[in-house]
Amino acid sequence: MLIVSGACAHFRVAPDSLSAATLEERRRVQAIAWGALEPLVAPANCNGNGMASVMVTMTVTDTVVAVITLGFVRPVTIEWTCAKTQGMGDL
């Protein structure tokens, strides 16, 4: 436990042909009441572009909270980077 206490479960979506345009943005979010209310993250920093990567992180603490509340509260951390604009052109 001592060794893995800092470990989290991470789930990443990252197309291998895309480069990130921005630094990683992170939000803590919770689904409430067994999903009756769920978070919607709408990145405001992508300058009209899509996202280059998304990572969902679930810590040991998040799991404990979900177990203690019998799933009423399901917290996770969502992290994303924005995609670049198509950069090819003429001078």
Which positions from 10 through 69 interact with another protein, judged by CB under 8 A? 10, 14, 16-17, 19-23, 45, 47-48, 55, 57
Q: Can residue 2 be called a binding residue for another protein (CB under 8 A)?
A: yes
CB of residue 58 vs another protein: minimum separation in angstroms? 12
Task: Give the position of tokens 């799991």.
Answer: 63
Question: Exposed, middle or buried, 52 (CB in 10 Å: 0-12/13-18/19+)?
Answer: buried
**CB nearer another protein, residue 40 or residue 85:** 85
Spell out the residues 6+ positions from residue 51 whose beta carbon is closer than 8 angstroms to its own: 43, 80, 81, 82, 83
Q: Can residue 3 be called a binding residue for another protein (CB under 8 A)?
A: yes
